Chain A
Amino acid sequence: MKKIIFYLIIITVSILTINCKKEGSYFPDNSSVKTDTSSVYSFTSLEAIPTTIHIGDIVNIYATATGKGIAYTWSSSHAEIFGSGSHIQSSAQPCCLGRQKIGCTVSDGVHTITKSVVFNVIN
């Protein structure tokens, strides 16, 4: 039994000590996280430019929000997202032709508003 536990510990420790690259994303002209210090909270718009792209092209998505210490959370059903903060860039691989939905949640720690925008991916 001691032997088994010994082998299990070796395997467990070796997996836990694996040095992985830090999770995340990088984009060459990545915009940094922007923190607006305005006191009035609002999430006025979420815009995709352009609204139609070819596979592998870039679509810029802008969130316009005001508030104190606001944070942006981005999600996508399918497409890749690059960057963070109020401006991100997105793209889609051949798997993801058609309408792509990007969601953005803006929160100041008290209020949370979610909006979504759609762009189209063509071949």
Chain B
Amino acid sequence: MVRFLLVFVVMLSFCNNSYAQCCAQGCSMTSSNIFDVLEKHHLELTGFLKHSNSNQYFNGSNKYYFTNAPLSLKNTSFDYFGISIGYGITNKLSIEAQGGYFGNKTQNFVDGAWLVGNGLSDWEVNIKYNFYNSKDSTWAMTISPGCKLPLGNYKDFTPQGVKLSRDVQSGTGAYAGSLEYACKVNIKKKFILVGSAEYEYNGINPEQYQYGDKLTITLSTKLKMYKKLSLVGMMKYEKTSNDYFYDQEIVASGYQKITLIPALSIDFRKDWSFTVIPEIPVYQNFNNIQFAQQYTVSCALSKELNLKKISNHTIPKWNK
């Protein structure tokens, strides 16, 4: 436990040290493992890269084209470099912290203008509790409350003294709370299906901006393809409500989206795994005119460590 706290403090201090550089909006990794709680004393470290690109306006569910708007968006993109640290407090309870750095959060405009922001993102912390397991191991359920800490910068300026637009800031400036419920069904001990539902509430930031609430429902399964190579198939539905600014509803905000996520995962050496996670939107419906996501792709490298085992090796026998 002391070791876990030490690791956690080290990671948070790293996070604070980087704060001065600048900072963005939460950008969590789409995990291929929504359900599993880490075993007691197990530590999981994950590093991931996420690239996202958008290049099209939508009005409702249809593509929208501006005829003459020199400062309409041509494309937007970002690279996100994240880390996730999970620790099993007991066999049924684990804690996870996730954050990272936005590199090149870019808006390119039709006439050649661009805006770029970089910086540390907000951090997410959540606790996952496995509260039910059926006797025959067919059903299992977890609940996961969490919160977002606004460690990212939401009012970054260029060196020339010009404030960057909200969309290229690396943080939201607002706290958020979330609650996730996940259910795993082991059908005839061959086929595992995981369903989850998450609700996220976003607070108001000091600039009086409030991002809309978000509901995410996922359905996923993992299929073993070849020895240590697995395919994770996931369908994700997201619905966000409208944003608010000074209590005024922003009409062109909020959407519904269905995303297909065919992730490929390979386990190698001992306790290492590498996952490639493409996210392809198959249906998007926006309130009014908004810029829509084209694709997102993530690569994640994970390592699970048994701290109990390590401490047994490192403490000399005579000291036990």
Interface string of B254-287 (1 = CB under 8 A from A): 0000000000000000000000000000000000
In the complex, the answer to whether B116 meets A23 with C-beta atoms within 8 Å is yes
CB neighbours (8 Å) of B81 from chain A are 14-15, 18
What CA separation (Å) do A56 and B72 show in the bound complex?
4
B101 at interface by CB-CB < 8 Å: yes
Q: A37-45, A67-75, A108-116: which lies at the B interface?
A: A67-75
CB neighbours (8 Å) of A1 from chain B are 3, 310-311, 314
List B contacts of A84 (CB < 8 A): 158, 160-162
How many Å lie between the Cα of A14 and that of B72 in the bound state? Answer: 35
Which B residues are CB-close (under 8 A) to A11?
Answer: 45, 47, 83
Q: How far is the CA of A94 from the CA of B250 in the complex (A)?
A: 10
Tell me if B14 and A12 are in contact (CB < 8 A): yes
Min Cβ gap A8→B in Å is 6
Whether B305 contacts A3 by the Cβ 8 Å rule is yes
Known: A8-B7, A95-B250. A74 touches B163 (CB 8 A): yes
Q: Does B71 touch A at the CB level, under 8 Å?
A: yes
Contact partners of A82 in chain B: CB under 8 A: 71, 113, 115, 162
Q: Are B207 and A28 in contact (CB under 8 A)?
A: no
Which of B106, B107, B116 has the most chain A CB within a 10 Å cutoff? B116
- Residues facing A in B127-184 (CB within 8 A) are 155-167
| Chain A residues, CB < 8 A from B66 | 55-56
1/0 per residue, CB under 8 A from A, across B97-113: the answer is 00011011011011111
With a cutoff of 8 Å between Cβ atoms, the chain A residues found around residue B191 in the complex are none
- Choose from A14, A25, A54 the contact partner of B114 (Cβ within 8 Å): A25
A21 touches B106 (CB 8 A): yes
Query: Binding site of B, secondary structure by majority: helix, strand, loop or mixed?
Result: mixed
Q: Interface-forming stretch among B31-39, B213-221, B288-296?
A: B288-296
Most chain-B Cβ atoms within 10 A of its Cβ — which of A75, A79, A88?
A75
For chain A, what secondary structure do more than half of its interface residues adopt (helix, strand, loop), or is it mixed?
mixed
Q: Which A residue sits closest to B111, measured CB to CB?
A: A28
Chain A interface residue count, CB cutoff 8 Å, equals 50
- Chain B positions 284-320 with a Cβ under 8 Å from a chain A Cβ: 288-291, 303, 305, 307, 310-311, 314
Q: Which residues of A contact B100 (CB under 8 A)?
A: 15
Residues of A within 8 A of B109 (CB): 91
A23 and B310: CB pair below 8 A? Answer: no
Indicate with 1 or 0, residue by residue over A6-17, a CB within 8 angstroms of chain B CB atoms: 011001101110
**Which residue of chain A has the shortest Cβ distance to B69 in the bound complex?**
A56
B196-233 interface (Cβ within 8 A of A)? 207
Instruction: Check A97 against B72 for contact (C-beta < 8 Å).
Output: no
Report A16 CB to chain B, min CB distance, Å: 8
B117 in contact with A3 (CB, 8 Å): no
> Which B residues between 43 and 89 are near A, CB-CB below 8 angstroms?
43, 45, 47, 57, 66, 69-73, 79, 81, 83
Rounded to whole angstroms, the CA-CA distance of A2 and B47 in the bound complex is: 18
Q: Is the beta-carbon distance between A81 and B162 smaller than 8 angstroms?
A: yes
Decide if B251 is an interface residue (CB 8 Å cutoff). yes
Please, how many angstroms separate the alpha-carbon atoms of A20 and B7 in the complex? 27
- In the complex with contacts A25-B158, A94-B288, A95-B290, A8-B45 CB distance below 8 A: yes
19 residue pairs from A and B, CB less than 8 Å apart: A1-B311, A2-B314, A4-B3, A4-B7, A8-B7, A14-B81, A23-B116, A23-B164, A24-B158, A54-B69, A56-B66, A56-B71, A57-B69, A77-B207, A80-B71, A84-B158, A93-B72, A93-B252, A94-B290
Smallest CB-CB A-B distances: 4 pairs: A56-B69, A91-B71, A84-B160, A56-B72
Give the interface of A toward B (CB within 8 A): 1-4, 7-8, 11-12, 14-16, 18, 20-28, 33, 54-58, 71-85, 88-89, 91, 93-97
Q: A3-B310, A25-B164, A56-B70 are in contact. List 4 more A-B contacts (CB 8 A).
A: A1-B3, A8-B45, A20-B104, A84-B158
